[in-house]
Structure 1
């Protein structure tokens, strides 16, 4: 038993190290240090524990660094690990330098064949229904955020859109709950990535009692590879904040009524938040804050 526990501990430490290194590699990518980013990805993915997204990001870094061999090597791993976003890959400007290479056409064809095989197993009616829910969920939020920026939080337009968003959320919640009760969690192997994201977003936007009810189901879905760890982290934080407790991963923001700027809800054990975020495949909190235009100073130990 002691030996088993030790092996489990070592495995956890290894996965944490991989997550942290890929997070650092992505930070190098954002800093436009593409070769350094690619080298960090190579090091962290050498043991074969990386996801399709990790290899895709590595390919982008190497393509931008001008190394086609390494870029294609990672793209082949991306396809092998089940990547399905063919439209995104074809439109991604990071990979433009690869399009004239004969390997690109073969890669696209391989991806199309894999995608057709995967999609043949989907529950197509359920996929269509959830993708429509995804669009309604996101469209009203795009309108709401645009009005917030243009008109301000106290404007009549924002208040009207807030009410519209609540109504849509209630309608979507009824539909998704009915789906879950009949089919279980509609994971990516059942309906694909976009459709399963719709189910997650609806639960994320639901009242606290609904979030708490389905949180164990989402934990199980994450264990089974049907939901990304970073999405589970967001719901874990949402439930904690809903219960007036400090969040664990720093994913939740609030609008400061005095400054009218966004800030983080209180974070438990904040000096170690990046370690927890790395375990869930999330970027460092400082990077996240920068992307959200939040003024943030990481606490000293």
Structure 2
């Protein structure tokens, strides 16, 4: 369905209505529940688009939902709208939700505009480096989501669950090694070189990397927080992981340990716990009591 705000544009409407038989068949491969959800979100976003106008997330998500429904041309039309309005949607190049859209014959031209728009904001940047950071982060996070799905479906003692856990750890290790290589080649991914979202993506990859790599780049993480390129929570998690791996007490209370006796997760030992909330607040974190609300974790 065409967004109301675009009905006055006959060329745009024509694009939206040009849905091939292949796309209709592709739609049949998704579940009815997913299809209903995607249609609902499209309706909500169409309304928001008509009221509030074009925005990165609105147009991008409309493109993604149409792509997931197999409606390639509708998805492409929203991507075209995004690039024509100069929006920054670099991750469209690697987002699996847009895999269908990227098979359209219009995609190469749109991709060229996406890269061009990105370089207008980051003229001295490296789009290839930025895309690699996005891919590493998203590959890992998708596998983590699969861990939870397998746990719910098969149970946490199943072979399927533990195979996914093993694969998740493998991806984390490989990501860390690849990030290390990229940093050696291009330097630390500063915001003005790869973009804010990509600098954050590097921090996410670093969180799940092996501790040796975390130790190697902890100073860069500190600088990124100091320069307001990433949030302090990234530093808190990485710093605590390093301390726990070295057999020391953590500083920010971000790490848990499993207690075999109680069969519960417990907060790992904390250095100078009296000043814990002070340290957390300095990095922009909630107090420990607020943080633990709703979590099934024991605080001694």
TM superposition score category, shorter chain reference? 0.5 to 0.7
Give TM-score scaled by structure 1 length.
0.57
| Counterpart position of 1:286 | 289
Runs of 5+ unmatched residues, structure 2: 1-54, 62-81, 89-116
| Counterpart position of 1:239 | 242
Q: 1:87 aligns with which of 57, 68, 75?
A: 57
Aligned runs of 1:125-274 on 2, under 5 Å? 125-274=128-277
Identify if the C-alpha distance between structure 1 residues 274 and 164 changes in structure 2 by more than 3 Å, giving closer, same or farther: same
Identify if the C-alpha distance between structure 1 residues 292 and 260 changes in structure 2 by more than 3 Å, giving closer, same or farther: same
The whole-number CA distance in structure 2 between the counterparts of 1:245 and 1:89 is 47
User: Does the aligned pair in 2 maintain the 1:189–1:226 contact within 8 Å?
Assistant: no
Q: How many residues align?
A: 194
Q: Higher relative contact order by CA 8 Å / sep ≥ 6: 1 or 2? A: 1
Identify if the C-alpha distance between structure 1 residues 123 and 289 changes in structure 2 by more than 3 Å, giving closer, same or farther: same
Which string of whole-angstrom CA distances, capped at 9 and with x for unpartnered residues, describes residues 26-45 of structure 1?
A: xxxxxxxxxxxxxxxxxxxx
Runs of 5+ unmatched residues, structure 1: 1-84, 92-108
Which string of whole-angstrom CA distances, capped at 9 and with x for unpartnered residues, describes residues 187-221 of structure 1?
A: 32222233222322222222222211111222223
Q: Report deviation, 1:137.
A: 1.1
Give TM-score scaled by structure 2 length.
0.57
Which string of whole-angstrom CA distances, capped at 9 and with x for unpartnered residues, describes residues 223-253 of structure 1?
A: 2333322211111111001111111001112
Identify if the C-alpha distance between structure 1 residues 188 and 88 changes in structure 2 by more than 3 Å, giving closer, same or farther: farther
User: Does the aligned pair in 1 maintain the 2:191–2:199 contact within 8 Å?
Assistant: yes
Q: Which has the greater radius of gyration?
A: 2
